[in-house]
Structure 1
């Protein structure tokens, strides 16, 4: 978690938090999650049939 208190004196954390918040609000994070779920659904790595004969 990013602390937004100014005790650390680094503005880059505030900028990173703002970018992340904007990505969440715009739906980009949800889009990336759906793309990854779609890609992983065709992966044979998570298919238990590949591990048992």
Structure 2
């Protein structure tokens, strides 16, 4: 199987209109990619508010 890569962005902290669940969604998509789609954790690049 060829290498798979993903970029996930989950930013809640917007000054005008903060969002509530973007970070959680990015974390859940990461788990799904690893568990169901056979992505390697090292091939998933995630940017979230807390990073």
Do the structures match in fold with TM over 0.5? no
When the two structures are superposed, what TM-score results if normalisation uses the length of structure 2?
A: 0.35
Higher Rg: 1
